[in-house]
Chain A
Amino acid sequence: MTPESSPPSRDSGVVARLRRAFRGALVWYGFVLPPLFLILVFIGYPTAIAFQQSMFTEVPGGGQKFAGTYHFERLLGDPVFWGALGNTVLLGVAFLVIIIPLSTVLASMLNRVRRGATPLKVIYFLPQLTSSVAIAILFHYVFQPDWGLLNGTLRLLGVNPLPLWLAEPRYTLTGSRAAATILAVWAGLGYFIIVVLAGLQSIPNDLYDAAAIDGASPVQSWWYVTLPSLRPTFIFLIITGTIDQLARFSDLWTLGGPGGSPARSLQSIVMYIFQQGFVGSDFSLSAAAAVVFFVIVLIVTSIAFWGFLRREFSAVR
């Protein structure tokens, strides 16, 4: 980094050039090494340990014994793991199936409406800024069966019998999984609307002009011009949304604890990793689940990265 203090070296040729190249490179290592060190210690090392733990068994009194695929067999034989994986997939799919059409319709209206678009955007985005923990606590009471905001209102409207929401672990449209999905859609709507809005605003006007000249009604041009043009936005939202949903934790943990009460109906795969490792101290089983989780996310991320995100990233400059 400091200017050369030694007298210019006389030795000509390869050695001098190598030395100069090395000195030039040294500065850059000064830039790269501190972050590299952090990444190796706090990302690389624990990841390696997760893989290692999944294949070894802790021997009481210290030391480890190679266990091969034993912990993975244990994991795959555990109905609780399959339940958690099933919940994660079910809740993720339900969330995306509801939120993408809903946010598309609302964003299309928001894009066309002449008055009040800005305050509306701010309002829809508000829950996004609120931690999912706070939202889960709030909705824990909103869904309270006797006096919660939702059932209290439904009673006023004469609904009888009132749904049980979070107290109902079975697969119904008014059970705990439905409540968790409503919560997630409510919380995530603002983000999805904002992303779809950005997609809408990048559609060239010429397309709409052409549709109008052909005599298309606003609804027709929405269906035949807007929706097909939003394809990249939908792909992006589906892929990032999938990764996000796979890692779902804090709201479900706040609603149902690490076990995902009631009756494990809200346990996600990350909660399973958390419960086995942190609560149950079965580090090998937790690590095996973590490795399986890693592989699932890797598959989705690879599709995202090579198919779409690479382009998206290079657009951000």
Chain B
Amino acid sequence: MERRLDPASRVAPRRPRLLPHDWRGQAGMSIVLWIGAFFMVIPFVWMLTTSLSRKADVSMPRTPSLWPPDPSLFNYMIATDKLPILRLYLNSLIVVGASTAGYLFFCSLAGYAFAKGRFPFKSTLFILFLATLFIPFETRMIPLYLFMVQVHLTNTYLALILPFLAGGFGTFLMRQTIANIPDELVDAARVDGASEFRIFWTIILPLCRPTLATLAILNVIWRWNDVLWPLLVTSDTDMYTVTQGLALEGHSQGTYTGVALATAVLAIGPVVVAYLFLQRYVIRSVVSSGVKG
């Protein structure tokens, strides 16, 4: 059951058999791949060294170096001075946490009803939910922003959270997962007198754990990296998300290379460290859903 529900199980390593073990081919491919990997990593290394170099704000060496000539945390001090980075992390954690928890909850709620419920207008409503997949956020962002202004929610967490609590994609994914759970399980609980909500909470949700994890990882990536919506509804520095603060500060620090890159390191560092621990699950989630982060 668990295995069948896990969408990542289809990404198992498998290599063509019957191919001769060709060490020259292997060596050639390894070299090409590691050269590529070098190009992927080197900008990050350069970012780190430049952010650690105090001189980077005054004059950059015309030849890039991969070791700071004058290692110091000066740029980081300026960066944290200019931007309340801890506050920004708190904002991002609240916004990403609340919107992800809400998204999982409301999408599962609708998904359960569409998978196991019987009620008038079920398919019409389901099509309505799916129709939202065809509406890009960018089409409705300006009216949504004007709406937030109207109800005086700009510069609040609610403005950053509310628009992302339910959606067609999550509802669809949850409906597909729940539809695969045998009816007998649900019926047995019903005979025991459990309420529908109790069944949903204690039986259905635990069985959906792999899908919920996938959905949670994707949503965290989306919400964490989003900058378009925070730019519209928050203008108060104390309400910035990490990504938004980075976008605005990095921009205004144009000439202070070291400070801008130190801000960038502070903004992505914890995410990258978390990724190194969770990479297996993250990559699986992105692949299995076929949706980009």
B271 touches A129 (CB 8 A): yes
- When the two chains form their complex, are residues A208 and B139 in contact, meaning their CB atoms are under 8 A apart? no
Q: Which residues of B contact A25 (CB under 8 A)?
A: 117-120
A142-163 at interface with B (beta carbon < 8 Å): 142, 144, 146-149, 152-153, 155-156
Contact of A277 among B5, B15, B142 (CB under 8 A): B142
The answer on a CB contact under 8 Å between B225 and A132 is: yes
Interface centre among A106, A134, A152, A236, by most chain B C-beta atoms within 10 angstroms, is A134
Taking a contact as CB atoms under 8 Å apart, the answer to whether B251 and A149 are in contact is no
Q: How far is the CA of A108 from the CA of B110 in the complex (A)?
A: 40
> Which of B60-68, B70-78, B82-90 lies at the binding interface?
B60-68
Contact A121 B283 (CB under 8 A): yes
Q: A44–B138 Cα gap in the complex (Å)?
A: 13
B228 to chain A, nearest CB (A): 5
Asked whether A286 is an interface residue with its Cβ less than 8 Å from the other chain, the reply is yes
Contact B118 A1 (CB under 8 A): no
A205 in contact with B228 (CB, 8 Å)? no
**B287 CB–A CB distance under 8 Å:** yes
Q: Is the CB of A294 within 8 A of B136?
A: yes
**Contact check: which of A38, A109, A120, A153 meets B64 at CB < 8 Å?**
A153
Please report the C-alpha to C-alpha distance between residue A287 and residue B140 in the assembled complex, in whole angstroms.
8
Provided the pairs A38-B166, A130-B268, A209-B18 are in contact, do residues A110 and B33 lie with their beta carbons within 8 angstroms? yes
Using CB atoms, name the residue of chain B closest to A268: B138
| A202 x B10 contact (CB < 8 A) | yes
In the complex, what residues of A have CB within 8 A of residue B234's CB? none
Give the number of chain A interface residues (Cβ < 8 Å).
Answer: 114
By beta carbon, the residue of chain A nearest B114 is A32
Asked if B207 lies at the interface with its beta carbon under 8 angstroms from chain A, I say no
User: What are the interface flags for B110-126 relative to A under an 8 Å C-beta threshold, 1 for contact and 0 otherwise?
Assistant: 10111001111010010
Q: How far is the CA of A30 from the CA of B137 in the complex (A)?
A: 27
Query: Is B69 interfacial (CB-CB < 8 Å)?
Result: no
With a cutoff of 8 Å between Cβ atoms, the chain B residues found around residue A36 in the complex are 110, 125, 128-129
Q: Name the residue of chain B whose CB is nearest to the CB of A203.
A: B16
Q: Which residues of A contact B138 (CB under 8 A)?
A: 247, 249, 270, 273, 290, 293
Q: How many residues of B contact A (CB 8 A)?
A: 121
In the complex, A266 has a CB within 8 A of chain B: no
**Other-chain residue from B164, B279, B290 in contact with A240 (beta carbon distance below 8 A):** B290
Q: Render A93-127 as a binary contact track against B, CB cut-off 8 A, 1 for contact.
A: 00000000000001001111111110011111111
A223 sits at the interface (CB 8 A): no
Question: How far is the CB of A1 from the nearest CB of chain B, in Å?
Answer: 5
Across the interface, do B113 and A31 meet the contact criterion of CB distance under 8 Å?
A: yes
Chain A residue at minimal CB-CB distance from B7: A316
A47–B233 Cα distance when bound, in Å, is 17
A181 lies within 8 A of chain B by Cβ? no
A195 CB, min distance to chain B CBs, angstroms: 6
Summarize B's interface: helix, strand, loop or mixed: helix
- B279 near A124 with CB under 8 A, answer no
Tell me the smallest distance from the CB of A158 to a CB of chain B, in Å.
13
Contact between chains at B290 and A43 (CB < 8 Å)? no
Shortest distance between the CB of A291 and any CB in chain B (Å): 7
> Is A3 in contact with chain B by the CB < 8 A criterion?
yes
With a cutoff of 8 Å between Cβ atoms, the chain B residues found around residue A156 in the complex are: 63
Contact B162 A42 (CB under 8 A): yes
Q: Which of B192-230 contact A (CB under 8 A)?
A: 193, 195-197, 200, 221, 224-228
By the criterion CB–CB under 8 Å, are B243 and A131 in contact? yes
Contact (Cβ within 8 A) A152 B292: no
B30 → chain A closest CB, angstroms: 6
Do A208 and B272 touch across chains, with their CB atoms under 8 A apart? no
Chain A residues contacting B30 (CB-CB under 8 Å) are: 113, 115-116
Q: Is the CB of B15 within 8 A of A111?
A: yes
B260 interface residue per 8 A CB criterion: yes
Residue among B37, B196, B227 making CB contact with A123, cutoff 8 Å: B37
What's the minimum C-beta distance from A238 to chain B, rounded to whole angstroms? 13
Which chain B positions have C-beta within 8 A of A197? 11, 287
A212 & B19 in contact (Cβ 8 Å cutoff): yes
Most buried by B among A45, A127, A130: A130
Q: Give min CB distance, A187 to chain B, whole Å.
A: 10
Q: A36-B129, A286-B142, A290-B138 are in contact. List 17 more A-B contacts (CB 8 A).
A: A24-B119, A30-B197, A31-B110, A31-B200, A36-B110, A42-B165, A112-B29, A120-B37, A129-B271, A133-B227, A134-B264, A197-B11, A249-B227, A250-B247, A274-B228, A277-B142, A290-B142
Q: Which 10 A-B pairs have the closest CB atoms?
A: A28-B117, A277-B142, A25-B119, A46-B140, A49-B143, A31-B113, A46-B143, A147-B60, A137-B250, A152-B64
Q: Which residues of A contact B (CB under 8 A)?
A: 1-3, 24-25, 27-32, 34-36, 38-39, 42-47, 49-50, 53, 106, 109-117, 120-134, 137-142, 144, 146-149, 152-153, 155-156, 186, 188-191, 194-195, 197-198, 201-202, 205, 208-209, 212-213, 218, 221, 236, 240, 244, 247, 249-250, 253-254, 257, 270, 273-274, 277-278, 283, 286-287, 290-291, 293-294, 297-298, 301-302, 305, 312-314, 316-317
